[in-house]
Chain A
């Protein structure tokens, strides 16, 4: 892979241009979120001391500052409150139609999660439609391991998709 105009970046990975999270344990203390996602589970952290469920996941409870947190499952199905469809001019990294929706996952703090709707053509979605979690692979992240060379770390991310009737 060469980078146009910058030959010195041939075969190098600029993480500052990476649109996906640095999900690996070496770079992210919330790595468990992504491991859970790989199992098809949408999770977040809950404070074992004060009980606060945070979204997105944390390493420290923002309410009581406890570090005693655990991962809990969030609902993986919800209803569309409102949505937008972008058909033309979709930004680099996304395909047309780029559909965004405010989704009610039924429980705080995810009563109004703004996410993306995938596996859905333009013009078919309606307010109130039911959607479910969709986990998909995103490009692996090359990590320089010194003498061991470059290790490719597999990554996933999530969106929602219409439930087929």
Chain B
């Protein structure tokens, strides 16, 4: 009988500026995960995949997986490794875990991600961000911190499709308000359109609430097969139906679209994941797309086919991303409001989608049965998509 991968449980620690070491955060993330499934114990876990990109630079720790395994009390026998795909690390680890459990090479894999980015002196993380882009060719132009790149992206979307600043602000308002009551989010405040429109400038047209913060935090989830999952939980099973990861360039000059607001690689990743999952854009009831900037979410809803290309501004500006809209997006607050400890983000997204498909999310989308998660990583260099569902692909 075919083995089908499911996400069995998940959780995250409090995200934000944390008075903690990286390995402390990983312990908190693992606890939040096991708290979500009291029947499962660390001894039941046979595999560990750790997603962390800044462990080497900000915590002076490479080969992070054994360190995390020991601290969280698991003793892997099938796999024990780390992945580094920056913002997509958590999602990548889920994809790898799915492959391993479906191949029979692992049974119960803990996927965990975390970053400790706030160092004793503030300059260091900002400076280290030069390592997030192609060091010699983009970092040297001061593109380590992403606001300038996404300012250019927003301007080109405005130039080609007439998108307005108010439509960008609508994304921030929706995502902030989703997280206002989320106790583990970095930002826990309501936001009005007026506040968003009058916020301090970062890089025009981007202002404060258009940009996700820098975040310390960790998250963990359990990937196993449906058959094993049934031994531990009576909750509805949440299958990982389709996955894709597309990389067409690294250096910004080789961006694959006709302009910076034309995300061909995003579209390709969506199409490939839809095909594997045997669903289409119209089937997606709730999504977690990578809102590192408000403009990102505007473009993503287009490239994933929730609306036509160029109409993302109108889609987001007319409440289609909110509860009751066509496709509620980032229902836990997204990166803009939960924060973005790179390797942990995909696990937060997967956990929120698991809860949505099990009917136990904070902002529940009624009848959610098929959902999508997405990450953008680097200087818009790679796109990662997962499609989850209440049923396996038949």
Question: Which A residues lie at the B interface, using CB under 8 A?
Answer: 16-17, 19-21, 55-56, 81-86, 88-94, 98, 100, 102, 109-110, 112-116, 157, 159
CB neighbors of A among B166-204 (8 A): 201-204
Residue among B136, B142, B252, B259 facing the most chain A CB atoms (10 A cut-off): B142
**CB-based contact A98/B253 at 8 Å:** no
Which 6 residue pairs are nearest across A and B when measured between Cβ atoms?
A: A84-B151, A21-B136, A114-B252, A94-B142, A100-B148, A113-B253
Kindly list 13 other residue pairs between chains A and B, CB separation below 8 angstroms, not including A84-B155, A85-B203: A17-B127, A55-B254, A56-B253, A81-B259, A82-B152, A82-B260, A84-B203, A84-B204, A91-B142, A93-B130, A98-B142, A114-B149, A116-B142
**CB-based contact B127/A91 at 8 Å:** yes
B379's nearest neighbour on chain A, judged by CB, is: A114
8 Å CB contact of A86 from B137, B148, B156, B253: B148
**CB-based contact B253/A157 at 8 Å:** no
A108 CB, min distance to chain B CBs, angstroms: 10
Question: Which B residues lie at the A interface, using CB under 8 A?
Answer: 57, 123, 126-127, 129-130, 135-145, 147-149, 151-152, 155-156, 159, 201-204, 251-255, 259-260
Main secondary structure of the interface of B (DSSP, over half): helix
What chain A residues lie within 8 Å of B145 (beta carbons)?
91
What chain A residues lie within 8 Å of B123 (beta carbons)?
92
Q: Given contacts A55-B254, A82-B159, A109-B253, are A21 and B127 in contact (CB under 8 A)?
A: no
Give Cα A112 to B155, complex, Å: 15
Report 11 cross-chain contacts, Cβ distance below 8 Å, ordered by A residue. Answer: A55-B251, A56-B137, A83-B152, A91-B127, A92-B123, A93-B127, A98-B142, A102-B152, A112-B253, A114-B252, A159-B141
What chain B residues lie within 8 Å of A21 (beta carbons)?
135-136, 140
B35 CB, min distance to chain A CBs, angstroms: 37
